[in-house]
C-alpha cells in the first residue's frame, strides 16, 4: 500500500523535507500542511513597484562549511544556480562589520595586522586574549552560558562586547542565557576535544559530512564568496528575492503530488491520524516542521511528557524595520553594525542591505536600503507587549537609531515595519538535555513523528535544510 508522510509547516525546513522526500521516497504520498496562506515561513520579502526588494527575514546565506555546501547543492539540484546573488569574499560587505560602542562606529578586526594592535572599542590587542586562551584549563561542564564560556576562555571585554553582539546578530539573544553547547557546538566541542577553542579551530573539522560534489559548491570555493542571497534575475518581477527559493521548492510539490493544505490542526499522532477541522488524514509518519511551541499545542494529552519538553523551547520576537533613503547616505561600507546590549539593549543592529545587494535597489536614482532590527530577548523589557506596540513607534525608534548611529538626518523615502513574533528560537542552557529527552521520547514511544526546524539544532537557513534532510534520510533508513 502507498505510504503517506505528512509534513506540518511550509517554512524552509518543511519545504526542504518535502523536497528530499520527493527525491528519495519514491511512491510515497507527501502531504504538506501549512497554517498560513503563504509558503516560506520567515523567508519573506517585499518588492516595491519601483523594483526595490526588502527582506523581512533572512537575507544572507553562508556558503562555507559542509552545511553551506549542502544548501548550494540543493540550489544546484533545483536549477537555481543563475538566480543567486553572490557577495564576493573580498567585497566590503564580506570584509567589513562594525560595532556601535560608546556612541561611535568601530570596524571589527578582520586581518592579522588588526588583531596585533589595539583596535577600539577593545582596550588591548586581541592577540593577547587568543594566546591566553591556549593556557586556560579545560572545564568538564555539561553546559554553560555563551558569556560564561567566552569570559572564562577569552576574558570579560571580548565576552561583553564581541560575543554579546554576535549572539544578538545571530540569535537576537542574550549571551548570558544562551547555551554555548547548543548555540556554538564547535566552540564547546573544541574545548572538550582539544582543551582549547583556538586549537580546535586550527585542527578541528566541520560538524557534518560533506555533500556529494556538485558544480556549485566548487565554484563558490574558487571564487571565495562571503555569502549569497537568491533572486529571480531572469523574471525579476515574478516574485521577490529569497521567497523565490521557497516558491521554486513549492513548484516541486505540485509536480510530486504534494497536497498543500492551509489551516489545520494535528490532533493525534499516536494513532497515525492527523485531524483537520474538516476531516482526518491517515498518515504513516508525520514530520513536524513548525516551531516546538506550535507542535506542543497540536499534541494529544497522552503525549504530555513531550509537550512539556517542547514548551520549554521559547523564541524571541524581533521588530524588523526596512528603510529606503534617497542617495548614498552611508558614511561606511560594509555588512552592517551590531550594538552590544550594554550600549543599547533595544536596537540589536543595522544591516546595510544596499551594500551587499545593490542589485535589489530601486531602479532610477541611487538609494540606500537599511534594515534596523530591534528587541529580541529584550523586546518585552525595552519595547513592550508586541501585541500592543504601534508600528509608528517602532519606525520612529528605528529612524532615530539610523540618525544617531550613522548621522543620516533625512527621512526615509519608504519604510516597512514588521513585528516578527517569536521568530528566533533561544537555545538556553540545558537545551541539549531537552533535545535528548525529546529524541528518547520519540524513540521509546515509537510514535511515528520526527521533529525538524529552527527550534532544535540550528537557526540558520543552512542548518534548517541540512537537519530536515537528515530526518528524512533517517526515516528512509539511509543514515
Ligand atoms: C529577522 C530574521 C533574520 C534572519 N536572518 C537570517 C540570515 O541572515 N541567515 C540565516 O541563515 N538565517 C536567518 N534567520 C533564521 C532563519 O530564517 C529561520 O531560522 C528559518 O527560516 C526557520 O525556518 P523553519 O522552516 O524552521 O521555521 P519557520 O520559518 O517558522 O516555518 C514554520 C512554518 O510552520 C507554519 N506553522 C506554524 N504553526 C502551524 C500550525 N499549527 N499548523 C501548520 N503550520 C504551522 C508557519 O506558518 C510557518 O510557515 C533569520 C530569521 C529572522 C526571523
Ligand atoms: C541584529 C539582529 C540579527 C541580524 N541577523 C540575524 C539577527 C537576529 C539573524 C542571523 N544572522 C545570521 C544568521 C545565520 C548564522 C549562520 O550560522 O549562518 C542568522 C540566523 C548571519 C550573521 N549575521 C551576522 C553574523 C556575525 C552572522 C553569522 C556569521 C555569518 O553569516 O557571517 C552579523 C549581523 N547580523 C545582523 C547585523 C546587523 C549584523 C552586523 C554585523 C542582523
| Mean pLDDT for all residues in the chain | 87
User: Is the minimum distance from the CB of 424 to ligand 2 under 6 angstroms?
Assistant: yes
**What's the CA-to-centroid distance between 295 and ligand 2, angstroms?**
26
Q: Encode pLDDT of 282-300 as tens digits.
A: 889 999 999 999 999 888 8
Yes or no: domain 116-203 corresponds to CATH 1.10.3110.10: yes
Q: Ligand 2, closest atom to CA 108? A: 41
Residue 470 buriedness (CB in 10 A; 0-12 / 13-18 / 19+): buried
Q: Is-contact 306 438, C-beta < 8 A?
A: yes
Q: pLDDT band at residue 328, thresholds of 50, 70 and 90?
A: very high
Q: Which residue has the higher pLDDT, 447 or 324?
A: 324
Q: Encode pLDDT of 339-382 as tens digits.
A: 999 999 999 999 999 999 998 999 998 999 999 999 999 999 99
Q: Ligand 2, closest atom to CA 351? A: 38
Distance CA 168, CA 146 (A): 12
Q: What are phi and psi of 88, to 5 degrees?
A: -60, 150
Beta strands 315-326; 367-376: pairing state: antiparallel
Helix then strand count (H, E) for the chain reads 20, 18
Give the other-Cβ count within 10 Å of 161's Cβ.
Answer: 21
Q: Is-contact 53 47, C-beta < 8 A?
A: yes
Q: Is-contact 242 80, C-beta < 8 A?
A: no
Q: What is the dihedral of CA 300, 304, 307, 309, to 10 degrees?
A: -160
- Domain residue extents for the chain: 4-44+242-313+428-475, 116-203, 315-425
**pLDDT for 234 beyond 50:** no
Q: Encode pLDDT of 191-207 as tens digits.
A: 999 999 999 999 875 45
Tell me which residue has its CA closest to atom 9 in ligand 2.
Answer: 170
> Order of strands across the sheet with 285-288?
259-262, 29-34, 4-8, 285-288, 449-451
* Helical H segments across 298-450, by residue range: 304-311, 353-356, 379-382, 391-406, 431-445
Q: Is-contact 454 289, C-beta < 8 A?
A: no
Q: pLDDT band at residue 467, thresholds of 50, 70 and 90?
A: very high
Name the helix (H) or strand (E) containing 311: helix 304-311
Distance CA 33, CA 264 (A): 7
Tell me which residue has its CA closest to atom 27 in ligand 2.
Answer: 170
**What's the CA-to-centroid distance between 280 and ligand 1, angstroms?**
26
Q: Which has the minimum average pLDDT: 126-135, 142-151, 255-264?
A: 255-264
**What's the CA-to-centroid distance between 49 and ligand 1, angstroms?**
26
User: Is the minimum distance from the CB of 349 to ligand 2 under 6 angstroms?
Assistant: yes
**What's the CA-to-centroid distance between 72 and ligand 1, angstroms?**
19
Q: Among all ligands shown, which has an atom nearest to the Cα of 12?
A: 1
- Tell me what the mean pLDDT of segment 410-432 comes to: 98
Closest CA to 374 of 338, 414, 330, 329: 338
Q: Ligand 1, closest atom to CA 298? A: 41
Cα 349 off chain centre by:
15
Q: Which has the minimum average pLDDT: 38-42, 134-138, 165-169?
A: 38-42
Q: Encode pLDDT of 378-420 as tens digits.
A: 999 999 999 999 999 999 999 999 999 999 999 999 999 999 9
Give the residue, out of 86, 91, 170, 182, with the most ligand 2 atoms within 8 A of its beta carbon, to mutate for a pocket test. 170
Q: What is the DSSP string of 53-108?
A: EEESS---B---HHHHHHHHHHHHHTT-GGGEEEEETTSHHHH-EEEEETTEEEEP
- Tell me what the mean pLDDT of segment 175-184 comes to: 98
- In this prediction the ipTM stands at 0.97
Tell me which residue has its CA closest to atom 1 in ligand 1.
Answer: 57
**What's the CA-to-centroid distance between 100 and ligand 2, angstroms?**
15
Q: pLDDT band at residue 235, thresholds of 50, 70 and 90?
A: very low
Residue 121: is the preceding peptide bond cis (ω within 30°)?
yes
**What's the CA-to-centroid distance between 360 and ligand 2, angstroms?**
19
**What's the CA-to-centroid distance between 169 and ligand 2, angstroms?**
4
**What's the CA-to-centroid distance between 49 and ligand 2, angstroms?**
28
- Find cell 521520547 and name the residue: 441
**What's the CA-to-centroid distance between 448 and ligand 2, angstroms?**
35
Q: Go through the chain and tell me how many residues it has.
A: 479
**pLDDT for 108 beyond 90:** yes
- Tell me what the mean pLDDT of segment 94-118 comes to: 91
Q: Which residue has the higher pLDDT, 227 or 58?
A: 58
Distances (CA, A) of 127 to 18, 98, 116, 229, 241: 46, 19, 6, 33, 40
Give the other-Cβ count within 10 Å of 438's Cβ.
Answer: 21
Q: pLDDT band at residue 301, thresholds of 50, 70 and 90?
A: confident
Closest CA to 139 of 79, 190, 82: 190
Q: Ligand 1, closest atom to CA 452? A: 26
**pLDDT for 281 beyond 80:** no
Q: pLDDT band at residue 317, thresholds of 50, 70 and 90?
A: very high
Distance CA 336, CA 133 (A): 28
Q: pLDDT band at residue 208, thresholds of 50, 70 and 90?
A: very low
- Tell me what the mean pLDDT of segment 213-230 comes to: 59
* pLDDT (0 to 100) of residue 221: 57
* pLDDT (0 to 100) of residue 276: 58
DSSP letter assigned to residue 341: T
Q: Which residue has the higher pLDDT, 311 or 229?
A: 311
Range list of β-strands (E), 206-246: 225-230
Q: Which residues of 381-390 are buried (b: 16+ CB within 10 A; e: fewer)?
A: ebbeebeebe
Q: Which has the minimum average pLDDT: 162-171, 207-216, 466-475?
A: 207-216
Q: Among all ligands shown, which has an atom nearest to the Cα of 425?
A: 1
Distance CA 232, CA 245 (A): 9
Which class is 315-425 in CATH?
alpha beta
Q: Which residue has the higher pLDDT, 149 or 265?
A: 149
- Tell me what the mean pLDDT of segment 441-457 comes to: 95
Q: Encode pLDDT of 47-94 as tens digits.
A: 899 999 999 999 889 988 999 999 989 888 887 788 788 888 889 999
User: Is the minimum distance from the CB of 350 to ligand 2 under 6 angstroms?
Assistant: yes
* pLDDT (0 to 100) of residue 429: 98
Any residues with Cβ below 6 Å from ligand 1, and which?
8-14, 33-36, 41-43, 57-61, 264, 289-291, 294, 298, 318, 320, 420, 423-424, 453-454, 459-462, 464
Q: pLDDT band at residue 256, thresholds of 50, 70 and 90?
A: very low
Q: pLDDT band at residue 268, thresholds of 50, 70 and 90?
A: low
Which class is 4-44+242-313+428-475 in CATH?
alpha beta
Q: Encode pLDDT of 34-50 as tens digits.
A: 878 778 899 888 989 99
* pLDDT (0 to 100) of residue 421: 98
* pLDDT (0 to 100) of residue 26: 86
Q: Is-contact 356 59, C-beta < 8 A?
A: yes
Amino acid at each position: 500500500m502507498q505510504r503517506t508522510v505528512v509534513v506540518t509547516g511550509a517554512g524552509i525546513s518543511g519545504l526542504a523535507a518535502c523536497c528530499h522526500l520527493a527525491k528519495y521516497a519514491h511512491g510515497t504520498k507527501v502531504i504538506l500542511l501549512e497554517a498560513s496562506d503563504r509558503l516560506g515561513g520567515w523567508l519573506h520579502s517585499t518588492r516595491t513597484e519601483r523594483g526595490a526588494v526588502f527582506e523581512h527575514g533572512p537575507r544572507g546565506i553562508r556558503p562555507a562549511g559542509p552545511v553551506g555546501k549542502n544548501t548550494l547543492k540543493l540550489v544546484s539540484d533545483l536549477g537555481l544556480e543563475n538566480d543567486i546573488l553572490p557577495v564576493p569574499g573580498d567585497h566590503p560587505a564580506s570584509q567589513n562589520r562594525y560595532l556601535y560602542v560608546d556612541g561611535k562606529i568601530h570596524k571589527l578586526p578582520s586581518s592579522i595586522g588588526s588583531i596585533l594592535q589595539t583596535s577600539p572599542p577593545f582596550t588591548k590587542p586581541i592577540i593577547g586574549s587568543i594566546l591566553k586562551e591556549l593556557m586556560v584549563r579545560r572545564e568538564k561542564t555539561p553546559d554553560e552560558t555563551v558569556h560564561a564560556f567566552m569570559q572564562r576562555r577569552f576574558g570579560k571585554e571580548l565576552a561583553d562586547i564581541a560575543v554579546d553582539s554576535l549572539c544578538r546578530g545571530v540569535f537576537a539573544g542574550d549571551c548570558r542565557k544562551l547555551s554555548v553547547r547548543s548555540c556554538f557546538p564547535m566552540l564547546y566541542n573544541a574545548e572538550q576535544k582539544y582543551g582549547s577553542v583556538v586549537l580546535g579551530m586550527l585542527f578541528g573539522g566541520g560538524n557534518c559530512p560533506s555533500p556529494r560534489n556538485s558544480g556549485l559548491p566548487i565554484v563558490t570555493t574558487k571564487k571565495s564568496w562571503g555569502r549569497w542571497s537568491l533572486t529571480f534575475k531572469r523574471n525579476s518581477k515574478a516574485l521577490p528575492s529569497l521567497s523565490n527559493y521557497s516558491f521554486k521548492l513549492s513548484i516541486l510539490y505540485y509536480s510530486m503530488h504534494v497536497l498543500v493544505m492551509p489551516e489545520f490542526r494535528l490532533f493525534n499522532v499516536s494513532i497515525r491520524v492527523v485531524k483537520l477541522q474538516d476531516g482526518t488524514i491517515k498518515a504513516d509518519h508525520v514530520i513536524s516542521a513548525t516551531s516546538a511551541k506550535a507542535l506542543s499545542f497540536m499534541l494529544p494529552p497522552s503525549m504530555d511528557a513531550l509537550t512539556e519538553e517542547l514548551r520549554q523551547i521559547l523564541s524571541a520576537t524581533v521588530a524588523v524595520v526596512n528603510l529606503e533613503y534617497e542617495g548614498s547616505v552611508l558614511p561606511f561600507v560594509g555588512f552592517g553594525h551590531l550594538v552590544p546590549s550594554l550600549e543599547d539593549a533595544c536596537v540589536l543592529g543595522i544591516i546595510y542591505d544596499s551594500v551587499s545587494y545593490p542589485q535589489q535597489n530601486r531602479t532610477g536614482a541611487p538609494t540606500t536600503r537599511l534594515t534596523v532590527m530591534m528587541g529580541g530577548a529584550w523586546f518585552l523589557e525595552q519595547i513592550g507587549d508586541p501585541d500592543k506596540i504601534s508600528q509608528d513607534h517602532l519606525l520612529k525608534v528605528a529612524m532615530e537609531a539610523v540618525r544617531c548611529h550613522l548621522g543620516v538626518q533625512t527621512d526615509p523615502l519608504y519604510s516597512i515595519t514588521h513585528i516578527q513574533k517569536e521568530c528566533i528560537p533561544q537555545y538556553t542552557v540545558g537545551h541539549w538535555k531537552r533535545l535528548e529527552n525529546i529524541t528518547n521520547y520519540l524513540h521509546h514511544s515509537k510514535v511515528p513523528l520526527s521533529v525538524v526546524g529552527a527550534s532544535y539544532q540550528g537557526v540558520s537557513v543552512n542548518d534548517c535544510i541540512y537537519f530536515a534532510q537528515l530526518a528524512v534520510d533517517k526515516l528512509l533508513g539511509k543514515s
